[in-house]
Amino acid sequence: MKTKLLLFYLFVVSFLNAQERYNILWLSCEDIDPTLSCYGVKGIETPNIDRLAKEGIRYTNAYSTVGVCAPSRSSIITGMYPVSIGTHNMRTSHQVTYKGIDGDKYPSFQAVTDKKGRNIPTYSAVIPAEVKCYTEFLRADGYYCTNNAKNDYQFYPPFTAWDENNNKAEYRNAPKGMPFFSTYNYVVSHESRIWMKANDPMLVDPNKIDIPDYYPDIDVVRKDVGRKYSNIVELDKQIGEKIKQLEDDGLLDKTIIVFWSDHGGPLLRQKRAVGNTGLHVPLIIRMPKQEMAGTVCNDLVSLMDLAPTMLSLAGIKPPEYMQGNAFLGEYKAKPREAVYGSADRFDEVYDFSRSVIDGKFSYIRNFLPNTPLIYRIKYREQIDMTRELIKMDQQGELTGGAAYIFRDQREVEELYDLDNDQDEVYNLANDPKYRSQLVKMRKMLANWQLEIGDKGFIDEYDLVQMFWPGIVQPSTERVQVKETSKGLVLSCPTEGASIGYQVDEQIGGNHWMLYSAPVKLKKDQTFIARALRIGYQVSEPVSYSKE
């Protein structure tokens, strides 16, 4: 295996040095753990995703940073831990689609309070000034970037992040000869589809699937776990259609394909969980011309690593501020020793837990131990089995692993042996035989929290005040224009702001050029420029005409 991976690394370096630049296609889905036949799961067939694994690299130890979508996606788009940049509370607002450059409107009330009972308005996180959406680096390097179409980042998506950002965005729109980076998000596997598709035909046999140890084996559980599997089968079909489109366009062997899920499965003890059951995700990468086909990589990977890895594969050195590590390409880093996860506010309920996973053990530290593991959230109680399990718990009918996850209070520390307990129902934290492992991972977590500046210790209302003093969203200052012999040099007094501009017929449209070098205008051309720091209001436009 080591020889195979070395050959793969040499291949990556060689093709990046070639004249042709490869496209990158992301196929992202929602709310699935590695419940795929290529991961050895019984009772399901996913031939199209299996094909990607057969023709590419399958990662067995990939993990999200958070067990819910918006914080997780904030880490993917930035390459940063959510608890480090203040995007950890789910969710800051309900703006999950791009509504144009002036679309960041925030109602002052969202029926959520912090731990002290103070109202939390809708808001956009103000992330550190140096942190950008990584697609800006791709755009600056000549990639045409499209997003179809989710923008669940915990901040309003900057207009400089994408060339196209809507439900019609397509890689086919890339100018001829220009490499593309395109992402498509598939929602059929989302938690909400468990109840929304409850009456659809079942595409698997619920009697032939394995039930996790943390559920009782009863009819309603088999029905909803079966629906999860069935939705994944439907997802697989949709993935196959996009692969065929790429193939029909003659681009399959000119494109890097990346398949991933934003976090683990959609059911109890999966979505929103901070350990292996909530963070473990599938990750498959198919390289052009099936290079290293069938490779299985057991290295630990965080989804946060996707940002620097895409830059690395494009031959772009990842910025030093990124907390993610490139795991492929020219700037590949050493494999991780551990991955880290977090759980904070989920809708109307506060959690505060952190995790360390080293591939063999998962360690969880609960900072609110006097709270139940399965807390009440209205959204997920639309699932039949969730309501039934809550009822059974109240009547004292749960036993074994199901009773374990419904305990009234959590322990301060949890430790699980993943080789023997993937479902995390046998806590070893108090077992003397595992004392050294417990202490080791406890120290790892504490050092990590100090290193990244864990903002979970700040009450959310105070955090919003830090972002928006007086709960008033700050504004980005206007772009400054200076004419030089090399063209128009643009700058913005607001630290960390990105600048976009439009020329002539582009003005008034949705597409903005990313400013990364002096702009050369021809005689009689007109342009406008605007700037945005993430979390701020966009600047007023500045116009300029070449006479």
Q: Answer yes or no: are the C-beta atoms of 106 and 93 closer than 8 Å.
A: yes
- Residue whose pair of structure tokens reads 């023997």 in the numeric block: 420
Model pLDDT, residue 95: 78
Alpha-carbon torsion (514, 520, 522, 527), positive or negative? positive
Model pLDDT, residue 324: 98
Q: How many residues does the chain have?
A: 547
Model pLDDT, residue 279: 98
- Residue whose pair of structure tokens reads 């103000």 in the numeric block: 126
Q: Answer yes or no: are the C-beta atoms of 538 and 476 closer than 8 Å.
A: yes
Name the active-site residue from 29, 38, 69, 492: 69
Model pLDDT, residue 105: 87
Q: pLDDT truncated to tens, each residue of the chain (547 aa)?
A: 444 444 444 444 444 444 479 999 999 999 999 999 999 999 999 999 999 999 999 999 999 999 999 999 999 999 999 999 999 999 999 878 899 999 998 887 777 888 889 999 999 999 999 999 999 999 999 999 999 999 999 999 999 999 999 999 999 999 999 999 999 999 999 999 999 999 999 999 999 999 999 999 999 999 999 999 999 999 999 999 999 999 999 999 999 999 999 999 999 999 999 999 999 999 999 999 999 999 999 999 999 999 999 999 999 999 999 999 999 999 999 999 999 999 999 999 999 999 999 999 999 999 999 899 999 999 999 999 999 999 999 999 999 999 999 999 999 999 999 999 999 999 999 999 999 999 999 999 999 999 999 999 999 999 999 999 999 999 999 999 999 999 999 999 999 999 999 999 999 999 999 999 999 999 899 999 999 999 999 999 999 997 7
Q: Which residues have CB under 8 Å from 262's CB, separation 6+?
A: 28, 29, 30, 31, 64, 69, 72, 73, 76, 281, 303
> Distance of alpha carbon 208 from its chain centroid, rounded?
31
Segments of 174-222 assigned E as strands: 180-186
CATH number of the domain located at residue range(s) 2-83+136-336 in this protein? 3.40.720.10
Model pLDDT, residue 94: 83
Q: Answer yes or no: are the C-beta atoms of 108 and 121 closer than 8 Å.
A: yes
CA distance 457 to 466: 14
Q: How many CB atoms sit inside 10 A of residue 407's CB?
A: 12
Model pLDDT, residue 444: 98
* 69 assigned to active site: yes
Q: Would you say domain 474-545 falls under CATH 2.60.40.10?
A: yes
SS3 356: strand
Retrieve residue 503's tokens: 């020329």
Model pLDDT, residue 68: 98
Which sequence spans correspond to the domains of the chain?
Answer: 2-83+136-336, 474-545
CA distance 371 to 374: 9
Query: What are the backbone angles phi and psi of residue 258, rounded to the nearest 5°?
Result: -125, 120
